[in-house]
Amino acid sequence: VEAAAGTGKTSALIERILSGVVSGRVSLVKTVAVTFTDFAAGELKLRLRLAIEGARQKHDSSPRTTELLTGAVRELEEARIGTIHSFCADLLREHPVEAGIDPLFEVAPDDLAYPLFDLAFERWFEKQLAGPGEGVRRILRRLPRRQFGGRRSGTLARRPRESGPKPILRTAAWALVRERDFKTSWKRFDGFAREADIDALVLEMEELGEWSEVGNPEQWLTKSLAYLKRFVGEITRLESLGNPRDYDGIEARLFGLLGGWGRAKDWKAYYARDSFPSDEIRNRRDELKVRVQKFVDNAGADLAPRLREELWPVVEEFEQLKERAGYLDFLDLLLRVRNLIRDNRDIRAELQQRFTHIFVDEFQDTDPLQADILMLLSADDPDQHDWRQVRPVPGKLFIVGDPKQSIYRFRRADVALYQEVKRQIVASGGALVELNVSFRAAPEIQKAVNAAFATVMSDESSTQAHYVPLAPFKTALNTQPAIVALPVSQPYGDFGRVVDWKIDESLPKDVAAFVDWMVNDSGWTVSERERPERVPLQPRHICLLFRRLRHYSTDVARPYVQALEAHRIPHLLVGGSSFHSREEVEAIRNALTAIEWPNDELAVFATLKGPLFAFTDSQLLAYRSQCSTLHPFKQPPNDLPEALGDPVATTTPSGLPARGPRSARGSDEVSEALGILRELHRRRNRRPIADTVGTLLALTRAHAGFANWPTGEQALANIMRLTDMARRAERTGLNSFRAFVDWLDEEAESGDIGDAPIMEEGVDGVRIMTVHKAKGLEFPVVVLVDITAKDSREPSKWVDQASGLSAMRLAGCTPIEVQEHADEEMRIEKEEAARVLYVAATRARDLLVVSGVGDQPYDGWLATLNPVLYPPEGTGFKPQATQPPGCPQFGNDNVVGRFKNAVRPRGSVSPGLHRPKAGEHHVVWWDPSVF
C-alpha cells in the first residue's frame, strides 16, 4: 500500500489486521507487526486494541466473530507488535546459542556503548603513539582549525575537544563503528606525487605572497596575499634553520588553508597604482585555490583508505569489549538476526512456519538489513536464503509506505531499496494499492503541495519517488487563511543586500511575534484529530519546523526559544541538542562544580546568583566585602549586618522566575547557602552521586521553583533527566563525584544531548523540532523556519550495497569512490531534500506558515515552495486584498524600517492576499509591521 501524507497508512494496516482477525485467517500470536520508532509502535498497539474492542462491542457481530475478537484481545499482549529492533531482540533471546551471543545480553544504546568504544580507542591510540602508521602519522600533524588571519575561532575555544588530531581520529573511528557491517576495503589512489605537488604549491604561494608588499594593505586582495606570505613564512622559517622540508606538516596546513581562505573567493580590489596588476594577481590567486583544492582532494583520496585500515583495529577491539560485557547495540541486533535467519536453515524454516502474517508500517524507512530479515521470514521456500530471490507466501506480507516520505537516508533508508522490494512483490503476484485522499490538510494547503512537488518528483527513478497528487477530503474554511508567507522584517545588511546574518537575527523575533498574535489576538480556530468541532488556537497547536537544530557549534533553535520566552509563550523543544545550555541545567552543573571544587569562587558565585539561590549581585558583593571570600568553608565574622543589599529579584538573569519572591535577605541566608554547598562537598564521596544531586535539589526547593517557569514542564523533565544521568553514570563505572562532574563537562562541550522528551498531547506549549522528528506527526499550525539552512550538503559518503562498500569522509579525507560518484550523490541528496520539504509541508492541518524574504525569492531549504508563494513578477505590488479574511489591515511594505526613497525590487511582494505563480490557491503575505 503506497499512501500519501495524511491518507491513513496506519489506519489501513490496522483495518487489514482487524479484517484478518474477524475472518479467522489471522491469529495475533502468529503475527508480526513492526514499525521503526517506539512512539509509532506504542500508537500502533493502542489503536489496534481500540479497533478490536470497538468491533467486539458492535451489536450486529455474530457469535463466531465475537469469539474471535475476544480471543484477539487475550492474544494482543503475546503479539509481536513493536519496533524492528525489539522484534530482533526477542528472536535473539530465543536463540542465543545459535546466534553465538550471551543469553543474558543487554541492549546498549550509544550512551552505554560509547564508554566501551572510548576504552578501545584509548588502547589503540597509545599503541599508535609508539609506532603510528602512515595515515595516522599524517593526521597527527593536524593543528586546530583557525580563522582567516591565523586567529583561533571563538567556537573552537569553546569546544577544544574537537580541535586536535586525537578527537579527529576518535570521530573517524566511531564513524567506522557505525558502518562496521560493510567489510569491503576502499580503493587505493595511485599516482599521487605528494612531495612534488607540495613543492610546486609552496613556490607559487611564495611568489604571490611577495605582491602583498606592493598592494594597498586595506584592500581584501592584498590581505589574502599577506595571508599566503604568512603561511609560507611559517614553512621557510624552520627550513632556514637547516631542517628538511616537513611534508607531513605542510600537508596538514594545506588541509586547513582553504577554510581560512574561503572568505576571499569573491574579493575584489581597485587600485590607483598602475604598478599593481590586480586582475592578473587575482586570477593567479584563484587558480592557486583550485590547485590547492585539487591537492586536498588527491591527498584525501590517498589518506582515506590508509586511515580505514589503520583504524579498523578499534572496531575489532570494540566488538570484543561489547561481547565480554554482554552488550549488543542496535546494529548488532539486526546483524545477528539477519545472519541467524540467513545462515541457519532450520531456524529460518521454524520462524517462517511460526509467523503466518507480517505487517510492516513506514516501510520507506527500511534499511537493507531490515528488508533482508522481513523478506526471508515471508518466503515460501525455506531453502531460499537470498532475499532478492524470495517469493512471499500469498497473503503473508502486508507493507505500508510512502516513498515520498523517505527522509532517513542517514540511517540507511533507501528509496532504491524500497522500489526494488516493491517490484519484487508485484512480480511475485502481490497487489499494489495507492491511497491519495488526504484527511489531514485543508484543501488550499493540498493544492499548494501538489503544485510545488509535482514538478520536482515528476520522473520516477530508482532513487526518487513518483509524485501522486493529494486529493481533498475537508471543505475549505474561508474565514481565515490556510497559507501565510511570513516575510523577514529586516533582511538587509549594512550595504543594502539581503544577508544571512540579518535573516537569522530578525526571523526568530518575527516568528515569536506572529505566534503571539495568533494565540492572543487572532481569534482563529483549528481542528484536532480526535475532536470534530473546531477549538480556539492555543500554543500546543503550533509547531516550528527546522531543517536542522545545530549548525556546527551554533544552536539554531536557541534564538527562537529566547524570542518565545520574551513573549512568555510556553514551548517544548523536542530532540534538540541544547540540554546543557538550558538555564536550569547550567545552574545545577555550576552547583555540582562548586560542590566538588569549593575553592572555585566563580562557580560558587554562579551557584549563589543562579536560580537555585537567586541572590543579587549587590547582596553577594556586600557579603564578600565583609568576609573577603565566598568560600563555603570560610567562617563568617560575628558582626555581619543582618540585611545585605537590595531585595532579591524575582527573576533569573534571562527573565525567568526565580524560586519565588522574597524580601530583603540577610547574611545568615548567604551563610546558609554556603553551608549547603559545604555539607554536600563533605559527603559527596560517601553517598551515591544521584543522592547528592537529589539532596541539592531538595534543599533548594528547585522543583517548586522551576515549575513556575513558563517552560516549567521542560525544566522539570531536564532536571529529572540529569538525576537519571547520575544513576546511569555509576552503572557505567563513574564511581567518583569528580568523574561525574568531568563527564558532564565533556558532554556539554560535545553539545550532542537534547532536552528530555516530554512530548504529550495534553502538554501546552509551541512544539519546536526538526522535520525528521516531526515525521508521522501532525499539527494544526506549522511554521517553517530557519530559511538560511541549505537543502543539501557536499557529498561525504558513497554506499554500494551489492559489493558491501561504504566509503565515507574520514578526518576530512574524501575517498576516491566518493569523489568519483560526487555528481550522482549530489543528485540523490537533492532528491531527498525535496522529500524532506514535502514531509514538512504536509504536517499542517489548518495553517501552513512559510518564512521568506518579501523582496525576492530566497534560495534555501524552502526554495521548492517559492513558486507556490510568490506572485508573478510585476504583480506583487497589487494584492487582491489588503485585509484578507481573519487578518488585520496591512500596510504596503514587507520590510520594517526600509530606508526612505529606497526603490523596492520589481519582484517585491506587498502584504495582502495574492495568487502565486503556480497552483490554484491563494497566499496571504503578512505585514510584519502589524506587531
Q: What is the pLDDT of residues 383-401, one digit of tens each?
A: 999 999 999 999 999 999 9
Type of residue found at 176: L
Residues 455, 490 contacting (CB under 8 angstroms): no
- More confidently predicted of 361 and 752: 361
pLDDT number for residue 438:
92
- Stretch 915-919: mean pLDDT: 95
Nearest residue to 310 (alpha-carbon basis) of 127, 535, 534, 182: 127
607 pLDDT band, cuts 50/70/90, is: very high
Secondary structure tally for the chain: helices H, strands E: 31, 22
Distances (CA, A) of 542 to 690, 718, 845: 36, 22, 10
Share above pLDDT 90 across residues of the chain, in percent, rounded to a whole number: 62
| Spatial distance between the Cα atoms of 922 and 868, rounded to a whole number of angstroms | 9
CB 604 within 8 A of CB 677: yes
Any long-range contacts for 111-114 (C-beta under 8 Å, 24+ apart)?
111/728, 111/732, 112/327, 112/728, 112/732, 113/322, 113/327, 113/329, 114/174
Give tens-digit pLDDT for 693-736. 999 999 999 999 888 887 787 788 888 989 988 888 887 777 78
- pLDDT-derived band at 662, boundaries 50, 70, 90: very low
The hierarchical CATH code for the domain 483-575+763-792+845-930 is: 3.40.50
pTM attached to this predicted model = 0.86
Q: Per-residue pLDDT averaged across 769-796, rounded?
A: 92
Q: How far apart are CA 343 and CA 571, in angstroms?
A: 50
pLDDT in tens, 235-269: 888 788 778 889 999 999 898 887 655 444 444 44
* Helical (H) or strand (E) element with 850: strand 844-852
How confident is the model at residue 659, as a pLDDT?
A: 46
CATH 3.40.50.300 fits 2-105+330-435, yes or no: yes
Higher pLDDT pick, 493 / 636: 493
Confidence (pLDDT) at 450: 96
Q: Which of 61-65, 543-547, 599-603, 672-676 has the lowest mean pLDDT?
A: 61-65
* pLDDT score recorded for residue 665: 57
User: How many whole angstroms separate alpha carbon 745 and alpha carbon 632?
Assistant: 22
The reply to whether domains 2-105+330-435 and 579-750 share a CATH topology is: no
Please tell me the predicted confidence (pLDDT) of residue 228: 87
For position 180, what pLDDT does the model report? 94
Mean pLDDT (whole number) for 40-51? 90
pLDDT value, residue 660 = 43
Residue 208 scores a pLDDT above 90: no
651 pLDDT more than 60 = no
Query: Amino acid identity, residue 750?
Result: S
Sign of the Cα torsion 41, 44, 47, 53 reads negative
Whether the pLDDT of residue 94 is over 80: the answer is: yes
**Partners of 674 in the β-ladder:** none
Q: What pLDDT does residue 700 have?
A: 92
- Euclidean distance between CA atoms 539 and 519, whole angstroms: 6
Nearest Cα to 69, choosing from 32, 19, 117, 109?
19
pLDDT at 90 over 70: yes
pLDDT exceeds 60 at position 743: yes
Residue 334 has pLDDT above 60, yes or no: yes
What is residue 764's three-state secondary structure?
coil
CA distance 262 to 146: 12
pLDDT in tens, 270-305: 444 545 667 788 888 889 999 999 999 999 999 999
Compute the mean pLDDT over every residue in the chain, rounded to the nearest whole number: 87
Residue 83 bridge partners (DSSP): 35
Instruction: Report the greatest alpha carbon distance in the chain.
Output: 102
Residue 36 pLDDT: 83
The yes-or-no verdict on residue 136 having pLDDT over 70 is yes
Q: Which of 88-97, 244-253, 633-642, 734-743 has the lowest mean pLDDT?
A: 633-642
Domain boundaries, the chain: 2-105+330-435, 108-325, 483-575+763-792+845-930, 579-750
Q: Over the stretch 141-197, which tens digit does the pLDDT of each residue have? A: 987 654 333 333 332 233 344 568 999 999 999 999 999 999 999 999 988 999 999
Give the bridge partners for 571, in sequence order. 766
CB-based contact 632:677 (threshold 8 Å): yes
Instruction: Give the pLDDT band of residue 648 (cuts 50, 70, 90).
Output: very low
Please say whether the structural domain 579-750 has been given the CATH code 1.10.486.10.
yes
**Whether the predicted pLDDT of 890 surpasses 90:** yes
The pLDDT score that the predictor gives to residue 810 is 95
DSSP β-ladder status, 844-852 and 483-487: parallel
> How many Cβ atoms are within 10 Å of 248's Cβ, its own excluded?
17
Span 617-621, mean pLDDT? 88
Mean pLDDT of 194-220: 86
